[in-house]
Amino acid sequence: MRSFSALVITVLIFTAIDLYTFKGLRQISENWNHKVKVAVYLTHWLVPILMLFLSIVMMLYRDQMSYKGQYSFFAFFAGFMILSYVPKMFFVAFHLLDDTKSLLAKLVALPFDAASPVARTAGAISRSRFLTQLGLMVAAVPFASIAWGILRGRFNYTVVEQTLSFENLPPAFDGLRVLQVSDMHMGSFDESHREQVEAGIAMINEQQADLILFTGDMVNNISDELEGWVPLLARMEAKMGKYAILGNHDYGDYYRDWTSAEHKAENLRRLIAMQQEMGFKTLLNEGVRIEKDGQSFGLLGVENWGQKPFPQYGDLAKALAGVREEPFKLLMSHDPTHWSEQVLAQSDVDLTLSGHTHGMQFAFRIPGWRWSPVSLRYKHWGGLYSEGKRHLYVNIGFGFIAFPGRVGTPPEITVFTLRSAKA
């Protein structure tokens, strides 16, 4: 009953957006060519009709689709919906401002709108109509950005360089290059994306990293998503080893077709085995020593720990047990909330590497400033954060999920150059 009510409310909201958008289109198209108006009106209403058709198809034929088919269909639906309705929201905002201004003008009898007795020159438009036209122009910006994010942005792999200095990093590791990659979500890629993924892997290898650290979410839900990709992902090269942890999506918690608890557990074992085939050692609440020239530091990896409803499988104390005496500690923890909720207070970890947020795959960026809606949920959502001499870095991910695009959040490969103050 609750899901049906949510569906009804969602349909009503989208219908209201479509009706109000149409009202604005009619206002600004009064003087357009008749054929152009008809084409615009038809295009406008074809979008919700197609959305409704796709929804019906999904409801009727979902059980007949393969798992991969279901995801591909949903991703197309999500991308089409966001591309169609986010620009409409901008247009509606300006048109609502226009209507609000007109209403206030009538209420207080201000002589500044279409009702003004002052004659306008030929061809001039009312200030009211200007706002709606401005809304149409503004809406074109998110439309173009989202379209680019789907077509190109999700494959625009970007290397981010970070240099960090630590007083307690052993001198043997001065200049160590640590490469972080996160949130690959290989279930979101299909064979048509192989060339783009190969380019991303090649970019990783161009960095000539000493260590490669993968901070979780190799898949969307099930290990089957990795079939066909293992040999390619195994090409990632690091001089001193490759290590991985699990993210919230890796456990299969969001998949509903497990036949038993053992079936689900076997899926996780298979995922870990496939990561091993790629050359990664998966750290499950454990720490290892990274050694060079008789010196060492502690590398820790915890299972996923996030604020509920996300799972809290991570055990920081257990991971610390074997490396507690190491002078320098680097932690891999998928969810950045772990850093503020436990890591700072319960450990002396120097550097924590996380992922998880994807930057919501959408952010506004200008030089020196950026903002993403995900910041409303996560205080630490992308980039470097510091508390005294301790640091957290949140990688916004290599892959994507649900929305098949990235806007202002290019897929990231992070390379850290660690410096020792003692060197």
- Looking at the structure, tell me whether residues 80 and 201 fall in a common domain: no
Domain final position from 89, 118, 151: 151
- C-alpha separations of 367 from 106, 358, 364 in Å: 43, 20, 10
Q: Tell me how far the alpha carbon of residue 29 is from its chain's centroid.
A: 37
Domain final position from 113, 133, 151: 151
- Looking at the structure, tell me whether residues 187 and 121 fall in a common domain: no
Rg (CA), the chain: 26
Domain final position from 86, 119, 151: 151
State what percent of residues in the chain have pLDDT above 70.
94
* Chain segment 342-376, per-residue pLDDT in tens: 999 999 999 999 999 999 999 998 888 899 999 99
- Looking at the structure, tell me whether residues 263 and 352 fall in a common domain: yes
Average pLDDT over residues 112-122: 45
Q: 119 falls in which pLDDT band (50, 70, 90)?
A: very low
Kindly tell me if the per-residue pLDDT of 3 is higher than 80: no
* Chain segment 157-168, per-residue pLDDT in tens: 999 999 999 999
- Looking at the structure, tell me whether residues 73 and 204 fall in a common domain: no
Beta strands in 196-269 (DSSP E): 211-214, 242-244
Its pTM stands at 0.91
Range of the domain at 400: 158-420
- Looking at the structure, tell me whether residues 147 and 224 fall in a common domain: no
- Looking at the structure, tell me whether residues 97 and 243 fall in a common domain: no
- Looking at the structure, tell me whether residues 310 and 230 fall in a common domain: yes
Number of domains in the chain: 2
7-31: b (≥16 Cβ within 10 Å) or e: eeeeeeebeebbebbeebbebbbee
- Looking at the structure, tell me whether residues 278 and 331 fall in a common domain: yes
Lowest mean pLDDT among 4-18, 243-257, 310-324: 4-18
For residue 221, give the 3-state DSSP assignment: coil
Could you tell me if 398 and 181 are in contact, meaning their C-beta atoms sit under 8 angstroms apart?
A: yes
Q: 176 falls in which pLDDT band (50, 70, 90)?
A: very high
Which residues touch 182 (CB under 8 Å, ≥6 apart)?
214, 215, 216, 217, 247, 334, 353, 354, 355, 356, 395, 396, 397, 398, 412
- Looking at the structure, tell me whether residues 165 and 300 fall in a common domain: yes
Q: DSSP character for 283?
A: P
| pLDDT at site 89 | 95
- Looking at the structure, tell me whether residues 162 and 96 fall in a common domain: no
| pLDDT at site 110 | 52
- Looking at the structure, tell me whether residues 128 and 180 fall in a common domain: no
